[in-house]
A and B are shown apart, each in its own frame.
Chain A
Amino acid sequence: MKPSRVLWWTLIGLVLSSTLAQAEPRLAPFDAGSPAALRQAHAGRPFVLVFWSVHCAPCFAEMAQWRAYRKQFPGIPIIQIATESLDESMAIVGVLDRYDAGTSGHLAFADDYAEKIRHAVDPAWRGETPRVYFYDREHQRIARSGAMDVEWTRRWLERVAK
């Protein structure tokens, strides 16, 4: 290996390590294995998957409502996932800082192979956001696209919380 190449690898290493050091710890990856892993982790319990995007104004508008429902229904995990990849974490965290500051447990797509991740969630989902999956105790699920129907959502949460 020529010295110049060693220099390059060192430089690349430095750049990568500084990037990782500054990466936002609040975002965990959501990949094609995550839907099955979440069902297993929440076996016998209801949960909600909320997919949103940094391009999606209706998504921002309802973050406060999800926050309120998380507080009101602590027994039902409400898991929010950005459909941008972790490469876009600066943009994602920018939105979260503004609309859901101080909340931990947010996820984002692990990479930009979005078709594959979406397919693992639901082959019928075409990528529009907000997209929400309501899993009951038996993990029978209801999928909804578009802005939240606040009343419908509250009734569903009350029903499965019993």
Chain B
Amino acid sequence: MVGRRGFVATALLIAAGAASAQDHTAHVGGKPHPQRFALGSSAAVDATGTIWAVHVDAGRVVIRRASGVGQPWSMPVALSEADERIEADGDARPKIAIGASNELYVTWTHPLAKPYTGEIRFTRSIDGGKTFSAPVTVHRDRQQITHRFDAVAVSQRGQVFVAWIDRRDAVLAKEQGEPDYRGAALYYAVSDDRGASFRGDFKVGDHSCECCRIALRPRGDGSMDAMWRHVFEPNVRDHALAVLAPDGTVTELRRVTFDDWRIDACPHHGPSVVADGAGTLHAVWFAQSSDGAGAFYGRLGDGKVDGQRQLGGVAAEHPDLTAAGDRVVVVWKEFDGTITRLHAMTSSDRGATWADHQLASSGDASGHPQLLRVGNSFVVFWNTRAEGLTLSAVPP
């Protein structure tokens, strides 16, 4: 519940945002950009078990923290300037990752005046959230083109990886008389100094889909797994995986899902990937195939998916997952026409058998659920219009 103090603080932010927008008309195309409490949000857990959430309130990226399930959220602290537009719907939402010494790294996409364009913005706190750096643009390329759908993660060596979807190669192909470049490309940058600076832009590969979040997973050797919706020839929107090294070298991508979804469309529905204690990769994703549409779980094998299964019913969407040792937990949401229910399934044998759970429900709009690992337990973070930012414990 937002109390009166919360309301006044929000009103303050709205007033400040509107005034600034008029002061900086050149930047925003001369129109104000009112944005109420947006549903696109993300969360991460620090070394002490505190949960940090980022979302957009009255047009600004804000950060809040809670000490655990059932605990109150702190008042929002604004991280972006009032005159900066922010994307905060669906898979385009602010992201947060946390370093081993509780460094807070936050990214978001700032849309530019031209449709479909944007910049990946970054700020950090190295004093446990007391102060944040002035936001910077991560990529060197500053064309007014797509740099969107940011993802951020911290490697096992403490390096900060930021990946995004980038259209520079599509633009170049068009200039060279090849208008049929499929999709966009994936790029990333790496920080060796806890976010003070970034090296890049390193190219992962051509022909990513253009509007789905990218999944990043730190590997034991300091590199990063990236999984994304790709556009395989001619227009198959299944998923690819590649390993991103901190020096900018990238392994050849491999196809990891095989639903053969042939479509020229924007699913706006990205994957998640984790590894269990034995190193097996588990993933969730969305696809439509001749067998039907839905949210899917499976283990990524060599040229095949093991144990693929559909999650929930036809309305299941936006799954996420995490793992620890032999435990794997999957969460998704499902709307029945009136209520959106938060479902989970848990496995204690690395995905061989599963138990189903219903965790929560909401009678109004909601964002995408996200699974968090807090110590040895699992918690689902879910931003809802009616209940605000919620945390639900997953049954052990």
Contact = CB atoms under 8 A, between A and B. Distances in A.
Interface of A: 8, 11-12, 15, 18-19, 22, 53-60, 84-85, 87-88, 90-91, 94-95, 98-99, 111-116, 119, 123-124, 126-131, 145-147
B265 A128 contact: yes
A58 B211 contact: no
B115 A128 contact: no
Please indicate which of the listed interface residues B36, B266, B365 has the most CB atoms of chain A within 10 Å of its own CB.
B266
Nearest to A5: B8
B18 A127 contact: no
A135 B337 CA distance: 22
A146 B268 contact: no
Given A55-B211, A129-B265, 6 more contacts: A18-B32, A22-B31, A55-B268, A56-B211, A60-B116, A126-B269
Going nearest first, the 7 A-B pairs with the smallest beta carbon separation are A147-B264, A56-B266, A113-B365, A115-B335, A146-B263, A55-B211, A146-B265
B233 to A, nearest CB: 16
Contacts of B317: 126-127
A115 B32 CA distance: 27
B92 interface: yes
Contacts of B92: 55
Given A15-B18, A127-B317, A59 B337 contact: no
B268 A58 contact: no
Interface in B141-185: none
B386 to A, nearest CB: 10
Interface residues of B, number: 46
A115 B33 contact: no
B29 A53 contact: no
Contacts of B210: 55, 57
B365 A111 contact: yes
Contact of B115 (A11, A98, A123): A98
Given A11-B15, A15-B18, A94-B114, A53 B314 contact: no
Contact of A87 (B36, B264, B335): B36
A59 to B, nearest CB: 7
10 contacts: A8-B8, A15-B14, A15-B34, A53-B268, A55-B92, A56-B265, A56-B266, A94-B115, A128-B265, A147-B265
Contact of A59 (B32, B85, B266, B365): B266
Contacts of A54: 115-116
A126 B293 contact: yes
B268 A123 contact: no
A55 to B, nearest CB: 4
Interface of B: 8, 11, 14-15, 18, 28-29, 31-36, 38-39, 85, 89-90, 92, 111, 113-116, 210-211, 263-269, 286, 288, 293, 314-315, 317, 335, 337, 340, 364-366, 385
A25 B110 CA distance: 25
Given A87-B36, A119-B335, A18 B116 contact: no
B364 A18 contact: no
A24 to B, nearest CB: 8
Contact of B15 (A12, A131, A145): A12
Please indicate which of the listed interface residues A8, A84, A98, A126 has the most CB atoms of chain B within 10 Å of its own CB.
A126
Nearest to A111: B365
B318 to A, nearest CB: 10
A98 B112 CA distance: 14
Please indicate which of the listed interface residues A8, A95, A113, A115 has the most CB atoms of chain B within 10 Å of its own CB.
A115
Contacts of B116: 54-55, 57, 60, 95
A128 B31 contact: no
A55 B34 contact: no
Contacts of B211: 53, 55-56
A133 B364 CA distance: 26
Nearest to A97: B115
Given A15-B15, A115-B335, A90 B266 contact: no
A145 B18 CA distance: 38
Nearest to B34: A19
Contacts of A145: 263, 265, 288
A8 B11 contact: yes
Contacts of B315: 115, 119, 123
A160 B97 CA distance: 54
Please indicate which of the listed interface residues B35, B116, B293 has the most CB atoms of chain A within 10 Å of its own CB.
B116
A19 B365 contact: no
B28 to A, nearest CB: 8
